[in-house]
Amino acid sequence: MSKQVRKLLSGNEATAEGGIAAGVRFFAGYPISPSTEIAEVMARRLPEVGGKFIQMEDEIASITACIGASLTGAKTMDATSGPGFSLKAENLGLAIMLEAPLVLVDVQRVGPSTGIATLPSQGDVMMARWGTHGDHPIIALAPWSVEECFRMAVQAVNLSEQFRIPVLIMSDAIIGYMKEAVTLPSADEIEIVNRPRPTVGPKEKTYLPYGADSTLVPPMANYGDGYHWYANSSVHDQHGFEATAKNDEAEYLLWRLHAKLAQHRPEVVFSENYMLDDAEIVLFAYGSVARSALAAAHTAREQGIKVGLLRPKTLWPFVDQEVKAIARMPQVKAILVPELNMGQMVIPVREAASRYTQVISLPHFDGTLIKPTKILKAINDVLTGRLTDDDEYTPPLALSRHPELVRLSA
Give the three-state DSSP class for 5: strand
Q: Of 107, 146, 138, 143, nearest to 124 (Cα)?
A: 107
Beta-bridge mates of residue 363: 339
Rounded Cα gap, residues 167 and 104, in angstroms: 6
- Cα–Cα distances (Å) from 361 to 314, 319, 348, in that order, read 20, 17, 12
Q: Identify whether residues 279 and 151 lie together within a single domain.
A: no
Please determine, for residue 365, whether its predicted confidence score (pLDDT) is greater than 60: yes
Q: Of 80, 30, 22, 79, nearest to 51 (Cα)?
A: 22
Give the three-state DSSP class for 90: helix
pLDDT tens-digit series, residues 138-158: 999 999 999 999 999 999 999
Of the three residues 161, 189, 217, the one that is the final residue of a domain is 189
Average pLDDT over residues 108-119: 96
Question: Does residue 150 contact residue 18 with C-beta atoms inside 8 Å?
Answer: yes
Which amino acid belongs to residue 166? P
Rounded Cα gap, residues 346 and 284, in angstroms: 8
pLDDT tens-digit series, residues 64-84: 999 999 999 999 999 999 999
336 within domain boundaries: yes
Which amino acid belongs to residue 23? G
Q: What percent of the chain has pLDDT over 70?
A: 95
pLDDT of the residue at 389: 86
Which amino acid belongs to residue 347? I
319 within domain boundaries: yes
198 within domain boundaries: no
Average pLDDT over residues 206-227: 94
102 within domain boundaries: yes
Rounded Cα gap, residues 16 and 280, in angstroms: 39
Q: Identify whether residues 402 and 290 lie together within a single domain.
A: yes
Would you place residue 402 in the very low, low, confident or very high pLDDT band (cuts 50, 70, 90)? low
Please determine, for residue 172, whether its predicted confidence score (pLDDT) is greater than 80: yes
- Cα–Cα distances (Å) from 404 to 64, 65, 364, 399, 401, in that order, read 47, 50, 21, 8, 9
Please determine, for residue 409, whether its predicted confidence score (pLDDT) is greater than 50: no
Q: Identify whether residues 298 and 174 lie together within a single domain.
A: no
Rounded Cα gap, residues 262 and 86, in angstroms: 26
Q: Identify whether residues 181 and 297 lie together within a single domain.
A: no
Rounded Cα gap, residues 24 and 42, in angstroms: 10
Q: Identify whether residues 134 and 20 lie together within a single domain.
A: yes
Of the three residues 156, 189, 222, the one that is the final residue of a domain is 189
242 within domain boundaries: no
Please determine, for residue 1, whether its predicted confidence score (pLDDT) is greater than 50: no
Rounded Cα gap, residues 387 and 408, in angstroms: 20
pLDDT of the residue at 410: 44
pLDDT of the residue at 405: 58
pLDDT of the residue at 35: 98
Question: Does residue 141 contact residue 168 with C-beta atoms inside 8 Å?
Answer: yes
Q: Identify whether residues 285 and 175 lie together within a single domain.
A: no
Question: Does residue 331 contact residue 280 with C-beta atoms inside 8 Å?
Answer: yes
pLDDT of the residue at 9: 98
pLDDT of the residue at 52: 98
Average pLDDT over residues 177-181: 97
Q: Identify whether residues 40 and 157 lie together within a single domain.
A: yes
Please determine, for residue 48, whether its predicted confidence score (pLDDT) is greater than 50: yes
Please determine, for residue 362, whether its predicted confidence score (pLDDT) is greater than 90: yes
Please determine, for residue 241, whether its predicted confidence score (pLDDT) is greater than 70: yes
Q: Give the residue ranges of DSSP H helices in 263-370.
A: 288-302, 320-327, 346-353
Q: HEC string of 361-392?
A: EEECCCCCCCCHHHHHHHHHHHHHCCCCCCCC
Would you place residue 344 in the very low, low, confident or very high pLDDT band (cuts 50, 70, 90)? very high
CATH number at residue 58: 3.40.50.970
Tally of structural domains, the chain:
2
Contacts of 250 (CB under 8 A, 6+ apart): 235, 244
Q: Of 325, 379, 377, 387, nearest to 356 (Cα)?
A: 325
Instruction: At 365, give phi and psi (nearest 5°).
Output: -145, 35
Question: Does residue 125 contact residue 83 with C-beta atoms inside 8 Å?
Answer: no
Please determine, for residue 404, whether its predicted confidence score (pLDDT) is greater than 90: no
Question: Which is more confident, 388 or 272?
Answer: 272
pTM of this structure = 0.95
- Cα–Cα distances (Å) from 121 to 116, 144, 292, in that order, read 10, 13, 14
What rounded mean pLDDT belongs to the chain? 94
Segment holding 24, helix H or strand E: strand 24-29
Q: For the CA atoms of the chain, what is the radius of gyration?
A: 22
Q: Identify whether residues 289 and 387 lie together within a single domain.
A: yes
Dihedral sign, CA of 388, 392, 395, 400?
negative
393 within domain boundaries: yes
Average pLDDT over residues 190-212: 93
CATH number at residue 322: 3.40.50.920
pLDDT of the residue at 163: 98
Of the three residues 154, 189, 224, the one that is the final residue of a domain is 189
The residue range of the domain holding 297 is: 272-409
pLDDT of the residue at 398: 60
Q: Identify whether residues 162 and 288 lie together within a single domain.
A: no
Q: Identify whether residues 149 and 284 lie together within a single domain.
A: no
pLDDT of the residue at 408: 46
